[in-house]
Structure 1
Amino acid sequence: MRKIATGAALAVVASLVMAPTAQAEPADAGRLPRLVNVNRIEGHLDNLATIADYNGGNRATGTPGYQVAAQYVIDQLERAGYEPEVHEYDYESWSEVSPSEIEQVAPEQVAYEYGTDFLTFTYSVAGEVTAPVVPVNTGAADSGCTAEQFAGFPEGAIALIRRGSCTFQIKTDLAAQAGASAAIIFNSGGAPEFEQPVLGTVGGLSEIPVVGTSNDLGEALAATEGLELRVAVDSVVETRSSFNVVAETETGRHDNVVVVGAHLDSVREGAGINDNGSGVATVLEIARQLPRLNENRLNNAVRFAFWGTEEEGLIGSTEYVQSLSEEQIDDIALYLNFDMVGSPNYARFVLDGDDSLGGSITPPPAGSGAIETLFHRYFDAQGMVSEDSEFNGRSDYSGFINAGIPSGGLFSGAEGVKTEEQVEWYGGTAGESYDPNYHTAADDLDNINRQSLDELSDAAAYAVETYARSTLPVNGVLRTAQATAPAQFERQGDLFLR
């Protein structure tokens, strides 16, 4: 019933010592999905909603709502027999003090509207400049991507750059090195998300102010003779602290660990019951029920992780992976990510481990395709359609892929739009997004799709039970391939990097 075939296959290395045959997908690997009951998952969601309601309406990192939600997770894990640990980290938090401004001062006076015409890039340094605007090869996809394009750039001018084939960090670094006083990056046109103002990040604190405009405004600016603009950014970067919650089974091999994760924080706009209370509740209930399986089913240890600061750029999970030694990274067999599994207008998306969609700038590590195949085969066996979803850098698998760890997971959809064909497979409404409440106050208990939650949590439980038994198709028990270079993604969380 799967829509997009991947053709993934496990390459068996001839030099491996032969071992007794292990079933990759045990015929009886189905008890955990029966134990992970959707009613109990909804109970966790109800508790997370109550915590948010009494603590400012959200569970954002650094708020009382996050602190209490983390304590709830810790309490539930302890009751199930785990010894959860708190992994603390410091990070640089960027925020706007007030909205940025762009104003045309020549050849005429024009004020542009924040949010409609332009947005501030996260990690843009604060500053205010008034200067002539100089387009940088704006008719090409590699606009602003090479130092040669800035040859002869006037000192102190504002660089106007088109979004394209290299990262925003590269574009802004080259502009600063050429003497630009600010950078304006305009969207590239085409699909709706490429028409509106760029929602982007420069990754680390920039040397010059950086803002992103819509395609229409960028094209108009590039065509204006004698253009002079005032650009003002009011931002601050502060060192803050937060934490992840991590717990591991006592049983199973601790040198071949299955890591299962979901981000615990919400955006500040709301309680985040789908994003990502749904993933947290699913992972938490799997953790609670896993000890009820026979110990001989758990050949590999399972580590459950509840990440902090995801909504500010995947910080908690990235800090966690970077804190591990090379030996500790080698001990991780694979990573499973569950971020939004109860979208109201849902689809069954499986992360594209073999890069059949071609949307991953760097192909995921070897073994990721095998994880994808397991999920698709599970849905096939249930008579359910499933589809691929790109590894585009929007969730917590990013740090694991960068470390060369095979990764996979499930996703029920966010701001993408459902098609007529998908309505035939899943029900719902064509022409509307999978989650119209994404990152809004309406992401609450009333807008969770119980069927999505039930179907995807069963698939998640099936994968955890299967890999607790054997990771043979993913890594041959020992890692067979490492990443040769850091992965490159389109996004860091919700923010575009290029």
Structure 2
Amino acid sequence: MRAGRGGLAAIAVLLLAGCGTGAAPAAQAVPTPDPTLAARLVATASGDRAFAHLDRLQAIATANGGNRALGTPGYDASVEYVAGALREAGFTVDTPSFDVRSFAVQDQRLTVGGAPVEATAMGFSPSGNVTAPLHVLAMDATSGCEAADFAGTPAGAVVLAKRGTCPFGVKSQNAKTAGAAGLIVANTEEGPFDGTLGDLPDTVPTTGVSSSVGDALAAKPGAVVTLVLATTTQEATSRNVVAQTTTGDPARVVMAGAHLDSVPEGPGINDNGTGTAALLDVALALGPAPASQNAVRFAWWGAEEVGLVGSTRYVEALSPEDAKRIALYLNLDMVGSPNPGYLVYDGDDSDRVGAGPGPAGSAAVEQVLTEQLAAVGVQGSGTDFDGRSDYGPFIEAGIPSGGLFTGAEETKTAEQATQWGGQGGAPYDGCYHRACDTVANVDRVALDRNVDALAGTVGRFALTLSGVPGRQ
């Protein structure tokens, strides 16, 4: 474990104008870039100190009903904790608010052929009481992502599609356009299946099932399905936390983010306290005025768990000029899973899995993250840009992106267990979206390695954007 303390810079902090909207700060004297910045940032960053932030987030959840979810006192206290730590270190901090919908389920039932089937309502699914025949789409990697996938769907049917490639809300919108009355999405893994349709209109009642249930249903086209969902959606307000260095070129911003909210079911210490804590530790180690070539901006997102809302609202609010100032985006979401993988988002699509490559420059981001993991003795592997975390809005805006991930409910393979240790055939995180996602659910070695990998990557790009093209 690293045990360094304190920031890398002690230069007076100047006012950061427009941090909440992405506007560039006013021109100022820039210190000569320090070529040792990346190495010193790695040496200063501390997995132990990141874990201390997790202890604070756990205490916040414990004191506020057991979670830090959207619209709760626990989330507000989390915002104040992160913003307060940054301000104490000398950062100017914005906490811009945004409107968001909150979602609750009162009733959910699925029967097929008269037999009950275990299923979970998708977040922001509309209510419905549907009895109709089951129509099975092609169960491939892009199932339900294109309108053409629904050719031949009987009007009023309940459609079965497979998870993959596009957001669940897109599949649900396509189902409604095709005249379907409901949608079942089959997971690609076993275990509980949480998902959300996001902030999208024109969807149908939608529920999710495990991969084995999906396989069984795929063999029953035409079976009578009854899908009952009683849900409510309410308007709420949430906040992001944003802070930027006052040094470095404000026209070339290295941005790193992590979502701050938990699900209502638990305190969210791995998901995503670990990303929050790693990012906060690196920000405090870097300090508000480092000797860097490029500016560095840090963000903690609200309402990720209900459809990436905080990051989406942030990107939507950027002017075209402000968006171009963001040279790249680094995402931290679950970096201390108890049965960890060491996964790096596949910026160049070299794995040929799921979605295609990220915007130009994403390959360089993947390469640097992989090199930084190697520097702490870990061989990273690619993971798909599947749209499940806050890199999504940045990719849509054409911003090169990447990030670190130690795995959620997916199963670690035997080969990965040989490569990284841990248990093959078991989830990376068996407490994903559950009450047991506490400080006891965190692998401290994985957290420490990812803190160092993030620190090295931020430091490297703060000095040079080699491999990352400018955007017109």
Q: TM-score, normalised by structure 1?
A: 0.78
Q: Does 1:32 align with 2:24?
A: no
Q: Does 1:83 align with 2:77?
A: no
Query: Deviation at 1:246?
Result: 0.4
Q: Does 1:58 align with 2:58?
A: no
Q: Which moved more, 1:138-147 or 1:443-452?
A: 138-147
Which residue of the partner structure matches residue 335 of structure 1?
329
Residue deviations 1:436-475 (CA, integer Å, cap 9, x gap)? 2221122111222111111110110111111111112212
Residue 262 of structure 1 contacts residue 337 of structure 1 at CA under 8 Å; is this kept in 2? yes
Which residue of the partner structure matches residue 388 of structure 2?
394
Residue 359 of structure 1 contacts residue 391 of structure 1 at CA under 8 Å; is this kept in 2? no
Residue 407 of structure 2 contacts residue 429 of structure 2 at CA under 8 Å; is this kept in 1? yes
Which residue of the partner structure matches residue 13 of structure 1?
none
Query: Deviation at 1:378?
Result: 2.5
Q: How does 1:24-173 map to 2 (within 5 A)?
A: 29-102=38-111, 110-113=114-117, 116=118, 118-130=119-131, 132-133=132-133, 135=135, 145-146=147-148, 149-150=151-152, 153=154, 157-163=156-162, 172-173=172-173
Residue deviations 1:214-251 (CA, integer Å, cap 9, x gap)? 32553454254xx4x54332112222211101011111
Query: Deviation at 1:426?
Result: 2.7
Q: Give the secondary structure class of the aligned counterpart of 1:472.
A: coil
Distance in structure 2 (CA, Å) of the matches to 1:147 and 1:450: 44
Q: How does 1:238-257 map to 2 (within 5 A)?
A: 238-257=234-253
Distance in structure 2 (CA, Å) of the matches to 1:171 and 1:347: 29
Q: How does 1:187-266 map to 2 (within 5 A)?
A: 187=186, 192-193=189-190, 199=195, 201=197, 204-206=200-202, 208-212=204-208, 214-216=213-215, 218-219=217-218, 221-224=220-223, 227=224, 229-266=225-262
Which residue of the partner structure matches residue 107 of structure 1?
none
Distance in structure 1 (CA, Å) of the matches to 2:415 and 2:137: 41
Q: Give the secondary structure class of the aligned counterpart of 1:29.
A: helix
Residue deviations 1:289-319 (CA, integer Å, cap 9, x gap)? 11288x4x31111111011111111111111
Residue deviations 1:337-368 (CA, integer Å, cap 9, x gap)? 11111112212211111111123424200111
The code of the aligned residue for 1:60 comes to A
Q: Give the secondary structure class of the aligned counterpart of 2:83.
A: helix
Gaps (5+ residues) in structure 1? Answer: 1-23, 105-109, 481-498
The code of the aligned residue for 2:91 comes to Y
Residue deviations 1:84-122 (CA, integer Å, cap 9, x gap)? 001111123333222245475xxxxx2524xx1x33333
- From 341, 346, 350, give the equivalent of 1:347: 341
The code of the aligned residue for 2:471 comes to R
Change (3 A) 1:273 1:121: closer
Distance in structure 2 (CA, Å) of the matches to 1:69 and 1:318: 20
Distance in structure 2 (CA, Å) of the matches to 1:242 and 1:266: 13
The code of the aligned residue for 1:206 comes to D
Which residue of the partner structure matches residue 278 of structure 2?
282
Query: Deviation at 1:270?
Result: 1.4
Distance in structure 1 (CA, Å) of the matches to 2:368 and 2:126: 45
Query: Deviation at 1:379?
Result: 3.1
The code of the aligned residue for 1:54 comes to A
Distance in structure 1 (CA, Å) of the matches to 2:416 and 2:176: 46
Query: Deviation at 1:165?
Result: 8.2
The code of the aligned residue for 1:276 comes to N
Residue 310 of structure 1 contacts residue 316 of structure 1 at CA under 8 Å; is this kept in 2? yes
Change (3 A) 1:172 1:86: closer
- From 268, 274, 291, give the equivalent of 1:272: 268
Q: Does 1:380 align with 2:389?
A: no
Distance in structure 1 (CA, Å) of the matches to 2:340 and 2:149: 45
- From 295, 300, 303, give the equivalent of 1:301: 295
Percent identity among equivalent residues? Answer: 39
The code of the aligned residue for 2:128 comes to G
Residue deviations 1:373-413 (CA, integer Å, cap 9, x gap)? 11222333444322112111111111111111111111122
The code of the aligned residue for 1:465 comes to G
Which residue of the partner structure matches residue 5 of structure 2?
none
Q: Which moved more, 1:320-329 or 1:386-395?
A: 386-395
Residue 409 of structure 2 contacts residue 427 of structure 2 at CA under 8 Å; is this kept in 1? yes
The code of the aligned residue for 1:33 comes to V
Cα RMSD of the aligned pairs, angstroms, is: 3.1
Distance in structure 2 (CA, Å) of the matches to 1:120 and 1:267: 15
Change (3 A) 1:326 1:360: farther
Which residue of the partner structure matches residue 24 of structure 2?
none
Change (3 A) 1:33 1:148: closer
Which residue of the partner structure matches residue 22 of structure 2?
none
Distance in structure 1 (CA, Å) of the matches to 2:295 and 2:349: 28
The code of the aligned residue for 1:75 comes to G
The code of the aligned residue for 1:454 comes to D
Distance in structure 1 (CA, Å) of the matches to 2:164 and 2:65: 41
Q: Does 1:361 align with 2:370?
A: no
Which residue of the partner structure matches residue 309 of structure 2?
315
Q: How many residue pairs end up in the alignment?
A: 434
Residue 187 of structure 1 contacts residue 198 of structure 1 at CA under 8 Å; is this kept in 2? no
The code of the aligned residue for 1:479 comes to R
Q: Which moved more, 1:73-82 or 1:413-422?
A: 413-422
Query: Deviation at 1:53?
Result: 0.9
Residue deviations 1:152-179 (CA, integer Å, cap 9, x gap)? x45xx43444448896656654554565
The code of the aligned residue for 1:52 comes to A
Change (3 A) 1:58 1:147: closer
Report the structure number with the largest CA radius of gyration: 1
Distance in structure 2 (CA, Å) of the matches to 1:177 and 1:28: 53
Distance in structure 2 (CA, Å) of the matches to 1:202 and 1:310: 10
- From 459, 462, 467, give the equivalent of 2:461: 467
Residue 307 of structure 1 contacts residue 316 of structure 1 at CA under 8 Å; is this kept in 2? yes
The code of the aligned residue for 2:40 comes to R
Q: Which moved more, 1:405-414 or 1:170-179?
A: 170-179
Distance in structure 2 (CA, Å) of the matches to 1:171 and 1:45: 36
Distance in structure 2 (CA, Å) of the matches to 1:40 and 1:321: 30
Q: Which moved more, 1:457-466 or 1:89-98?
A: 89-98
Residue deviations 1:125-169 (CA, integer Å, cap 9, x gap)? 223244x42636668986794398348x45xx4344444889665
The code of the aligned residue for 1:254 comes to P
